[in-house]
Amino acid sequence: MQPELLIATNGYKGTLPAIEYGTWLAATLQMKVTLLGVTEKLNPAAIDEHHPLEEVFARAVELFQQNHLEYNLEVQNGNAEDLIPRKAQQGKYITVIGPLGRPHFRRLITGRSIRHLMEEIEQPIFYVPVAKLPLNKILICIGGLGYEVNAEHIAMQMAMKSRAEITFLHIIPPIDMNYPTAKTVSEHWQNLAETDTPVGRSLRQAMEIAKNDGLTASIKARLGNVVEQILVEINEGNYDLLCMGSLYSSNALRQLYTPNVTAEIADDINCPILTARYKKD
């Protein structure tokens, strides 16, 4: 079954880039769209007042119609961080979201909304703080264990439609344990694709897929802190989309002590980010 696109907004103007990007994505990949509007502050005494959702919905419908999309509109009352994952679980969706405009104090207490949404939504997510279009350059992070394959698959489809260039990036963090594979990767970081290591095999396979699809692709490697080096590469390379995979579900024990790299990057990024969980099937 072809996945559909779920675009979510709470009426905050910062979600408009996500709507614009979602419209382009749906038109590019020929997907049906559901626009979910969340009314978070329902005041019965102010029923006749203008609601922020009205302006955002009007702009969204205008874009959908201009691009001849098949779409549904839905409005629910409640908390966006609860309702968006609940709706995403009801179908085979790719979810597109943007910043929800939470006050700084709330973010300090409860954390960024994107972190919670990434934990609760199992399907692929596009987080769009800025809609960078047209799509010319895609950065795909390769970890070496295959956890990025779902995000990579979606990115390849987008690249074929847009004729975008792809860069496969691997970050070599500081080595804390001296074991053979880590030592090989560290010593041969400038020619990783030629090594018989998990990351070397992943890079060769990704390059082969890109070549078979007729795409322009290259490989890059960096040494250092994973989050810092990815952000540096994004800024220096002026990419239009970042793609990352994720191994762990929100219930995994390792979530308790392993930094969420994708969420850390989403906190400070100047382009859309696609994240998709690893699934064995």
Residues 143 and 121 in one domain: no
**pLDDT tens string 98-155:** 999 887 767 666 667 888 898 899 899 999 999 999 999 999 998 755 556 788 899 9
Residues 177 and 260 in one domain: yes
Q: Where among 127, 148, 181 does a domain terminate?
A: 127
What band does 2 get if pLDDT is binned at 50, 70 and 90?
Answer: confident
Count of structural domains within the chain = 2
Question: How many whole angstroms separate alpha carbon 234 and alpha carbon 228?
Answer: 10
Residues 152 and 272 in one domain: yes
Question: How many whole angstroms separate alpha carbon 36 and alpha carbon 88?
Answer: 10
Residues 89 and 208 in one domain: no
How many C-beta atoms lie closer than 10 Å to residue 217's C-beta? 19
Residues 201 and 247 in one domain: yes
**pLDDT tens string 238-279:** 999 999 876 444 444 333 334 477 778 887 888 999 998 766
Residues 255 and 273 in one domain: yes
* 216 in a structural domain: yes
Q: Where among 82, 108, 127 does a domain terminate?
A: 127
Kindly state the greatest CA–CA separation across the chain.
Answer: 68
For residue 63, give the CATH number of its domain. Answer: 3.40.50.620
Segments forming the whole domain that contains residue 31: 4-127
The pTM assigned to this predicted structure is: 0.87
* 192 in a structural domain: yes
Residues 110 and 174 in one domain: no
Q: Is residue 30 a contact partner of residue 115, using CB atoms and an 8 Å limit? A: no
* 132 in a structural domain: no
Residues 44 and 120 in one domain: yes
